[in-house]
Structure 1
Amino acid sequence: MTTTRFAPSPTGYIHVGNLRTALMNYLIARKAGGTFILRIDDTDPERSKEEYVDAIKQDMEWLGLHWDRIERQSERLDRYADAADKLREMGRFYEAFETPTELDLKRKKQLNMGKPPVYDRAALNLSDAEKEKLRAERGNGVWRFKLDHERIDWTDGILGDISIDAASVSDPVLIRGDGQVLYTIASVVDDTEMGVTDVVRGSDHVTNTATQIQIIEALGGQCPRFAHHSLLTGPQGEALSKRLGTLALRDLREQGVQPMALLSLMARLGSSDPVELRSDIAELIEGFDVNRFGAAPTKFDVQDLFPLTAKHLQSLPLADVADAVADAGVPAELAESFWEMARENITTLGDLKGWWELCRDGAEPLIADEDREFIEEAIALLPEGPFDGETWGTWTKAVKEATGRKGKGLFMPLRKALTGMERGPEMATLLPLLQVIRARG
């Protein structure tokens, strides 16, 4: 069975970059009728916060990306300890004591000599007595996985055939000196024991994948299929990494972005398929193929979400937005006609309040000097209420016959006088709301 996972760290709010990873893994699982796991990477007790765990769940539920089960790495520390013991018994795990400063000096020296800046494995030459002395002086060391210096090959679902020389990579640290288990081994143990078959993540993890393949093989596990998606950039190709904090999903939600607008964009961005608004997640699942994504950096512009949001809202019946219409202050008996008027003229649901204020309070008329007499004559011809969908046509026909005006010279001054705006909803749908509200007042 196909099994995928999304493994966020609860050290902050998830953003569009995280969403790309979550969505791809979700769509793969759902298209195959498999299992999607939400796995909370909370092995860092100082940085992990329960409020962020709750926020991750809320964001996923808002998007409709429902998981089949949830796992927490903080509850699996014994499994990682067992794996570490197994690697020690195999001679593939060793303790190293260099300080960050010492490692930095080593790297600089290697670079000056034209060598790759990888860990030199000096710790392997330490005697037991030397290790005890270092522990006494510096505390416990870090634990590194000893890589086999051979090529690591796999066929990536997006990048194609990958081959990395393990000798060009430092033996990865899997456990810190304070005992904290790091992602590299925790992920391997979880993926193996949870039967994860497919892993999609960012291209910045390619080197991690190479080392994890060797760890999986050392522990006797089955390697999943890997795919590494491109990283997002800003609209001008600039790095998004420093701005991702401002692109948190909850911030986009606050700005009025609709879930299907966001999902429709992220499910196609960077692929060979055009971005098209989909009506539901089922459509995204049906058309998803991870192999259609490219390796080139992918431009993301938050402004692209708003036309998609507007288009999505236009397709919705009142029942789907009733709460938002009510929150804008619209009385229940006017909700249907108000939504029909406003739906084509909003970008987000937050715009409803402004349209209701126009209906309820009217607007400051916008009348050019040359139109003042015309407007006075037109208003005098306005029939008695209540108004309906035919009133605008009947009224403008009478005004046309009385004044001789037609086309834009007829309709635009009337719109501006009634709404204070040059453009907006169809006046035939707006006028009854203006009249009803004023008649009620």
Structure 2
Amino acid sequence: MTTIVRFAPSPTGMIHIGNARTALFNWLFAMKTGGQLIQRFDDTDVARSKQEYADAILTDLEWLGIKPSAIDYQSKRFAIYDAAVAKLKSAGLLYPCYETADELERRRKIRLSRRLPPVYGREALKLTADEISALEAEGRKPHWRFLLPNFADDPFAPSRTEVHWDDVVRGPQTVDLASMSDPVLVREDGTYLYTLPSVADDIEMGITHIIRGDDHVTNTGAQIALFRALGAEPPAFGHHNLLTTASGEGLSKRTGALSITGLRESGIEPMAVASLAVLIGTSESVQPVATMEELAARFDPAATSKSAAKFDPAEVGTLNRALIHQMSFAEVQARLAELGIEGPQAEEFWLAVRGNLETVADAATWWRIVREGPDTAESLSEEDRGFVAEAFDLLPPEPWDRGTWRIWTDAVKAQSGRKGKTLFMPLRLALTGRPSGPELADLLPLLGRAGTLGRRP
């Protein structure tokens, strides 16, 4: 049997690193099992769903290295949901309810005051035909609830009914259907809530494993019952812990918190995002992983903690720097060429500067400094200006290599008596205009003797 998983966000905003965690868990699971991932957009909320968000999500997934085998939209699949509704109604498992939100809230409070669980009491099942006609004459339209199989003969006498599954992430799980209200599947206006389209699609698409956030754990019992009511064997389920900010706040597409688009546009590498999104909150240490294949080899859903994973956004930057500092020239050659960094010195330049970059795009600044001179020079004191001018008189002849810097500074030290920071800092400022940066031993051969003399104060 081929493993088939799905990533099914609602296109109501930009996905964030928490959403990416779910997408990556599914993608890596498919990679490890030789399976496929279906990209499905749960866009039945027509008012809030937008194609521009769906397109942005597809762009983000491609950037992350996630490659769906198919893309589909729930808004194009209503015939499947209508057929599921008809099947449930004919089996007597979907029943109309006419209570308003206020009426339901009052009943909930009454049950709580009596120290009873605040579940729906199935009062709508007691309505007579005349009572239903009277309610509809008032203009009320029904919402439709799925009758959970949590009773023997009398739906008004539910009894403990355990649903078990071996969670891919959390291990053995149990939910008691008697502790739940019959879920609403269809609203008064005829639109569908999440549960029915999701289950109907999972059946029709042949989904074998559903891997999602652990905020869905309590939904799973009812969904398993719905799979069976529709004549299908439920897939395997896995529920990973959620990501929160360092202060414990949840992430939201609506607020744009740590959106993948924003991270990409700020120059973060996709594997920095993937490494953090997958490894945080697991027994694995959070380290920069260079390829998706390597990350898949390290991925073990069962190693995920059951508690929420708090993280500092600065960790993304830390991983990003570590990845860049290890990148070969071949890995970035095309991207450097887009920045205008090409030619016989390009590889030597990359190896010289990569250890000081926050993003690959930052290389353009150092390329300009090497080729054209400092663009933001810090001023030298009069004493240092004189020292640097004399130091430039001691530049050794070419050819230059990495050892030239030592030869030059040894000569300058012998003549001036300066050493340490008082020797090196004025030379660095004169050559680059910056108090820190790549090793001058690496930059000096790139500048050449003529280029270096051109920076004489």
TM-score, normalised by the number of residues in structure 2: 0.89
Q: Quote the residue 1:145 is aligned against.
A: 146
CA deviation profile, 1:292-349 (whole Å, cap 9, x unmatched): 1110111122110112111212222334334543454546454333322221110112
One-letter amino acid matched to 1:343: R
Q: Secondary structure at the match of 2:256?
A: helix
Of residues 233, 238, 254, the one that matches 1:227 is 238
- Segment of structure 1 superposing worse, 332-341 or 136-145: 332-341
Query: Structure 1: how far apart are the matches of 2:253 and 2:26?
Result: 25
Q: Quote the residue 1:194 is aligned against.
A: 205
Is there any run of 5+ residues in structure 1 with no aligned partner, and where? none
- Relative to structure 1, the CA distance from residue 83 to residue 378 in structure 2 (aligned partners, 3 Å threshold; closer, same or farther) is same
Q: Quote the residue 1:361 is aligned against.
A: 373
Of residues 237, 243, 257, the one that matches 2:268 is 257
Pairing 1:351–2:362 present: yes
Offset of 1:88 from its aligned partner? 0.9
Work out whether residues 365 and 419 of structure 1, in 8 Å CA contact, stay in contact via their aligned partners in 2.
no
Of residues 188, 194, 198, the one that matches 1:183 is 194
Aligned CA-pair RMSD: 2.5
Q: Quote the residue 1:83 is aligned against.
A: 84
Offset of 1:368 from its aligned partner? 5.1
Offset of 1:113 from its aligned partner? 2.2
Q: Secondary structure at the match of 1:245?
A: coil
Work out whether residues 17 and 244 of structure 1, in 8 Å CA contact, stay in contact via their aligned partners in 2.
no
Of residues 418, 424, 444, the one that matches 1:431 is 444
Offset of 1:408 from its aligned partner? 4.1
Query: Structure 1: how far apart are the matches of 2:125 and 2:256?
Result: 41
Q: Residues 64-143 of structure 1 correspond to what in structure 2 (within 5 A)?
A: 64-143=65-144
Query: Structure 2: how far apart are the matches of 1:109 and 1:352?
Result: 66
Q: Secondary structure at the match of 1:45?
A: coil
Query: Structure 2: how far apart are the matches of 1:340 and 1:257?
Result: 19
Q: Quote the residue 2:169 is aligned against.
A: 158
Q: Quote the residue 1:375 is aligned against.
A: 388
Q: Residues 319-330 of structure 1 correspond to what in structure 2 (within 5 A)?
A: 319-330=330-341
Of residues 207, 210, 216, the one that matches 1:205 is 216
One-letter amino acid matched to 2:423: L
Of residues 282, 300, 305, the one that matches 1:294 is 305
CA deviation profile, 1:113-144 (whole Å, cap 9, x unmatched): 22222222111111223223323433431111
Query: Structure 2: how far apart are the matches of 1:45 and 1:292?
Result: 38
CA deviation profile, 1:376-408 (whole Å, cap 9, x unmatched): 321332357786544423321221232233444
Q: Secondary structure at the match of 2:117?
A: coil
- Segment of structure 1 superposing worse, 95-104 or 27-36: 95-104
Offset of 1:244 from its aligned partner? 5.7
Pairing 1:271–2:282 present: yes
The count of residues paired between Structure 1 and Structure 2 equals 441
Pairing 1:41–2:53 present: no
One-letter amino acid matched to 1:195: G
Q: Residues 384-403 of structure 1 correspond to what in structure 2 (within 5 A)?
A: 389-403=402-416
Pairing 1:246–2:247 present: no
Q: Secondary structure at the match of 2:165?
A: strand
Identity of aligned residues (%): 46
Offset of 1:108 from its aligned partner? 2.1
Query: Structure 2: how far apart are the matches of 1:328 and 1:297?
Result: 40
One-letter amino acid matched to 1:159: R
Work out whether residues 97 and 138 of structure 1, in 8 Å CA contact, stay in contact via their aligned partners in 2.
no
Work out whether residues 15 and 244 of structure 1, in 8 Å CA contact, stay in contact via their aligned partners in 2.
no
- Segment of structure 1 superposing worse, 368-377 or 393-402: 368-377
Q: Quote the residue 2:426 is aligned against.
A: 413
Q: Secondary structure at the match of 2:388?
A: helix
Offset of 1:251 from its aligned partner? 0.7
Query: Structure 2: how far apart are the matches of 1:51 and 1:21?
Result: 21
Offset of 1:165 from its aligned partner? 2.0
Work out whether residues 328 and 356 of structure 1, in 8 Å CA contact, stay in contact via their aligned partners in 2.
no
Offset of 1:49 from its aligned partner? 1.1
Query: Structure 2: how far apart are the matches of 1:109 and 1:413?
Result: 79
Of residues 163, 171, 196, the one that matches 2:182 is 171
CA deviation profile, 1:58-116 (whole Å, cap 9, x unmatched): 11111110011122222221111111111111111011122222222222222222222
Q: Secondary structure at the match of 1:9?
A: coil
Offset of 1:272 from its aligned partner? 0.7
Offset of 1:432 from its aligned partner? 3.9
- Segment of structure 1 superposing worse, 367-376 or 388-397: 367-376
Q: Secondary structure at the match of 1:162?
A: strand
Work out whether residues 392 and 453 of structure 2, in 8 Å CA contact, stay in contact via their aligned partners in 1.
no
- Segment of structure 1 superposing worse, 199-208 or 307-316: 307-316
- Relative to structure 1, the CA distance from residue 18 to residue 141 in structure 2 (aligned partners, 3 Å threshold; closer, same or farther) is same
- Relative to structure 1, the CA distance from residue 45 to residue 157 in structure 2 (aligned partners, 3 Å threshold; closer, same or farther) is same
Work out whether residues 345 and 425 of structure 1, in 8 Å CA contact, stay in contact via their aligned partners in 2.
yes
Q: Secondary structure at the match of 1:340?
A: helix
Work out whether residues 174 and 181 of structure 1, in 8 Å CA contact, stay in contact via their aligned partners in 2.
yes
TM-score, normalised by the number of residues in structure 1: 0.92
Work out whether residues 366 and 421 of structure 1, in 8 Å CA contact, stay in contact via their aligned partners in 2.
no
Work out whether residues 241 and 306 of structure 2, in 8 Å CA contact, stay in contact via their aligned partners in 1.
yes
Q: Secondary structure at the match of 2:257?
A: helix
Query: Structure 1: how far apart are the matches of 2:324 and 2:255?
Result: 26
